[in-house]
Chains A and B, each alone.
Chain A
Amino acid sequence: MTLSLFDLEACFEGVVPSIIATADGNGVPNISYLSHVAMVDSEHVALSNQFFGKTSANIRMNPQATLIAVDAGTGVQFRLELTFAYSLDAGPLFEHLSLQLDATSAQVGMAGIMRLRGLDVFRVLKIESVRATMEPERKASPQRDRLAAAARVVELIAAETDAEGIVDATLNGLKTWLGFEHGLFLELYDERRQLVTIGSLGYAASGIGSEVEIGDGVIGAAAASGSIVKVSDMSRVRRFNAAVRNSSSDENRTRSIVLPGMPDAMSQIAVPLAVAGRPRGALFFESRARLAFTREDETALSIIARHAALALAFSERTSEEAESDRRAQPASTATDRGIHVAHHRFDDSVFIDGTYVIKGVAGRLLAWMLEQHLANGRSEFTNREIRLDGGLRLPDFKDNLETRLLLLRRRLEEKSLPIRLLRLGRGRIALEAEGCVRLSREGI
C-alpha cells in the first residue's frame, strides 16, 4: 500500500514527538526530537525550528533529512525521506502553528521558551511504516460523517430565532451529531475584554456567567487569534484553574463564577466565533480521551461556529422589532414575601437575598428593570426601549443585548431566585417577582 501524508494525520497532533536526522557535509549525523510537524499540502511538511541550530545548519549544507513520525493513537512509526525546500517566518501557516505552540507551551509552564522562530518546509520523497514486533490493533470504529453531521447541526441552528434557541441548538446539536459531551458557548463582551459563558453542556455546575480573559488559555487564545486552538494530550499539562475550581458558595464573596472544566481532560478544543471578521466569542469542548478532536472535527466545528455566530448576530437585529403584543400571565406565585435586591454600582453586581447573581451590563439591566417595576408597576419590556434608554448607560451594545438578557435569565433560573425573566417572544421580556421587591443601591 502506498502511504500518503493524509494517512499520517494522527502523527501531526504534537502528542508524540517526531524525530529528525540530518547530516553535515562530511556525513556527521545529528539527531533531535521535534515538537511540531504540520502537513502543508499533500507533498510537503513543515517542521518547527525553535532551537535546533545544528539541524538548520545541516539541511542548508545537505538538504536530505529523515523523519520518524508517530501515530499518537496506535504508536505506529512512519519513516519519511525528506528534502529541504524552503523556510517560512510569516504567513497564515506560520501564524497558526505559532499560536498552537504558544497555547500549549503556556500550559506546560514553558511560555515564551518554545516560541516559534521559523518553519522549515520539506518535500516528502518517500513514506514507509517502520516494522514492529507487534502489529497494532486496527481500530474498527466507524468514522462519523462529519460533513453530514455539520449539515444537521447547521439545520438545527437555522431553525431557531432567538439567542437561547441558537446557543442550545449549537451545543445539543454537537452532542447529538458529533458526540461531544462537555462544552461551553462563550460570548465576547468587548467593554470588559472578556468572554462570558452563556451556554453550557455536560457540566455539573454549568458555569453560566463565568469569564475568560481574552488571550487566556485555550479559549482566550482562540478568541484573540481567530484560529482554532487544540490540545490533544494534556497528561503532562498543569491545569492552572484546578486549584480555584471550588464550590459556588464562594461566588457571593468573589463576585465571579468559576469556569467549569474536567480536572482529568486529555483533549481540549476552542473554536472562534466571528462575524464579518470581528470576534464574537468562542465554542469550547473537552474530553477525557486522548486525540478526541480530529482535523475533520475542526472543519465541522468551523462551519458550525460560523453559522452559530451569524445566526446570533441576525437574531439581535430582528429582536429590535418586538413581536405583536403578547401579555404576560400575571405572576400567580406572588406573595407578601420580601425580596431584597442589592445593586453595587462600582461593578454593577447584583445580589438577591444575599446571593450573587451577576455583574456588569447584565447586572445593570436587572437593576433598571426592577427600578421601572417599582416606580410604575411595569413588568414587560422590549429590547428596543432598553436600547433607547439613556439612563441605562449601556455601552455601544454591538448587537449583543439578547445574549446578555439570556445570561441574566439563566443565572436567575439556575440560582432558583424569586425573581425571574420570561421571554414573551421576539424582542420582548417580562419580569416576574415572587414577592415584594426592595431595591437598595450602594456606592452611588
Chain B
Amino acid sequence: MIEEDLASFIESPVMQIVGTADEALKPEIGRGAGAWASADRRRVFLVLSAWQWPGTVANLKANGRVAVTFARPADYVSYQVKGAATLQSAVADEIDRSARYLAEMVSTLMRLGIPAEVIAPWLSNRDPFLVGIEVSDIFLQTPGAKAGTRLWSATV
C-alpha cells in the first residue's frame, strides 16, 4: 500500500528515474515525466516518453519488470518503488498532468540554480506512454544509513 505521505511525494515535483531490464538481464534507464498513485493506493502511474526512452518502453512491453526512484532534488529524500508494469498510450488528461509536472519540475530545479537550458534535455513527454505499476515493494532510498530499507512489501 502506498501511504498518503508517499502518494503526495510522488505527485510533487520530484525527479523520476525508471529502471528496467531486457531478457538478457541488461539494465536500461529512463526518466518519468509525471506520476501519481491510483485511488486505491495499490498502483503508481507514470508518463514516459517513448521517443526519448525507446529501450525502456521495449523492456516494459517484453517483461513489465520495473523499478522507479522518486528523488527530491533539494534534500535528496528518495523512495524506490518496484513492481510489474503494463503499458498503454497516454490519453489527453494524462498528458495534461504530465505537462503540469514538467513545468513545476523545471521551476523547482531553476530555483536550485540550474539554468533552464541545462534542464531541458532531461524532461520530455514526446510520444507519451502511460506506465501502470502494480506495486510489489517500496524502499527508502534517501542517502544515509537507512538507504535501502524496505518500507512495504506485497508479499509480507
* Chain A interface residues toward B at CB < 8 A: 16, 19-23, 25, 27-33, 35, 50-54, 62, 64-68, 70, 72-77, 79, 81, 110, 113-114, 130-134, 136-137, 233, 235-236, 266, 290
Contact between B118 and A235, CB atoms less than 8 A apart: no
Please report which residues of chain B, range 97-156, place their CB below 8 angstroms from some CB of chain A when the two chains form the complex. Answer: 112-114, 117-122, 124, 126, 139, 141, 143-145, 147-148
Known: A64-B26, A113-B143, A136-B117. A31 touches B148 (CB 8 A): no
Min distance, Cβ B32 to any Cβ of chain A, angstroms:
11
CA distance A220 to B140 in the complex (A): 35
CA distance A22 to B71 in the complex (A): 18
CA distance A389 to B52 in the complex (A): 75
- Chain B: residues with Cβ within 8 Å of the partner, total of 44
Which listed residue, B24, B76, B118, touches A75 by the CB 8 Å rule?
Answer: B118
Is B94 interfacial (CB-CB < 8 Å)? no
Min distance, Cβ B23 to any Cβ of chain A, angstroms:
8
Contact between B69 and A32, CB atoms less than 8 A apart: yes
> Which residues of chain A come closer than 8 Å to B66, judged between CB atoms?
29
Q: Lowest 8 CB-CB distances: which A-B pairs, in order?
A: A31-B19, A235-B113, A132-B121, A23-B21, A75-B118, A21-B27, A29-B19, A21-B19
Contact between B147 and A73, CB atoms less than 8 A apart: no
Chain A interface mostly helix, strand, loop or mixed?
loop
* Chain B interface residues toward A at CB < 8 A: 17-21, 23-29, 51-52, 63, 65-69, 71, 74, 76, 78, 80, 82, 112-114, 117-122, 124, 126, 139, 141, 143-145, 147-148
Contact between B143 and A50, CB atoms less than 8 A apart: yes
Known: A75-B121, A132-B124. A27 touches B25 (CB 8 A): yes
Min distance, Cβ A147 to any Cβ of chain B, angstroms:
29
> Which residues of chain A come closer than 8 Å to B141, judged between CB atoms?
32
Known: A53-B147, A113-B143. A66 touches B28 (CB 8 A): yes
Which listed residue, B63, B69, B119, touches A31 by the CB 8 Å rule?
Answer: B69
Contact between B144 and A52, CB atoms less than 8 A apart: no
Min distance, Cβ B58 to any Cβ of chain A, angstroms:
13
> Which residues of chain A come closer than 8 Å to B74, judged between CB atoms?
236
> Which residues of chain B come closer than 8 Å to A50, judged between CB atoms?
143
> Which residues of chain B come closer than 8 Å to A67, judged between CB atoms?
29
Contact between B147 and A66, CB atoms less than 8 A apart: no
Assuming A21-B19, A75-B120, A133-B126, what are 17 further A-B pairs, CB within 8 angstroms?
Answer: A16-B114, A23-B21, A23-B27, A31-B19, A31-B29, A32-B141, A53-B148, A54-B148, A65-B27, A74-B121, A75-B119, A77-B121, A132-B121, A137-B117, A233-B113, A266-B113, A290-B113
| A65 closest partner in B (C-beta) | B27
Contact between A68 and B29, CB atoms less than 8 A apart: yes
CA distance A254 to B69 in the complex (A): 50
Contact between A31 and B25, CB atoms less than 8 A apart: no
Contact between B65 and A27, CB atoms less than 8 A apart: yes
Contact between B63 and A27, CB atoms less than 8 A apart: yes
Min distance, Cβ A199 to any Cβ of chain B, angstroms:
30
Chain B interface mostly helix, strand, loop or mixed?
mixed
> Which residues of chain B come closer than 8 Å to A79, judged between CB atoms?
29
Contact between B121 and A73, CB atoms less than 8 A apart: no
17 A–B contact pairs at CB < 8 A?
A20-B29, A21-B20, A23-B26, A25-B25, A27-B23, A28-B82, A29-B28, A31-B17, A52-B147, A53-B148, A73-B118, A75-B122, A114-B143, A132-B121, A132-B124, A133-B121, A236-B74
> Which residues of chain B come closer than 8 Å to A51, judged between CB atoms?
143-145, 147-148
Min distance, Cβ B31 to any Cβ of chain A, angstroms:
8
Contact between B65 and A130, CB atoms less than 8 A apart: no
> Which residues of chain B come closer than 8 Å to A27, judged between CB atoms?
21, 23, 25, 63, 65
Min distance, Cβ A421 to any Cβ of chain B, angstroms:
45
| A72 closest partner in B (C-beta) | B118
Contact between B144 and A64, CB atoms less than 8 A apart: no
Which listed residue, A64, A113, A114, A233, touches B25 by the CB 8 Å rule?
Answer: A64
Contact between B113 and A29, CB atoms less than 8 A apart: no
CA distance A61 to B23 in the complex (A): 15
Contact between A133 and B21, CB atoms less than 8 A apart: no
Contact between B120 and A132, CB atoms less than 8 A apart: yes
| B78 closest partner in A (C-beta) | A33
Known: A29-B21, A113-B143. A130 touches B121 (CB 8 A): yes
> Which residues of chain B come closer than 8 Å to A54, judged between CB atoms?
139, 148
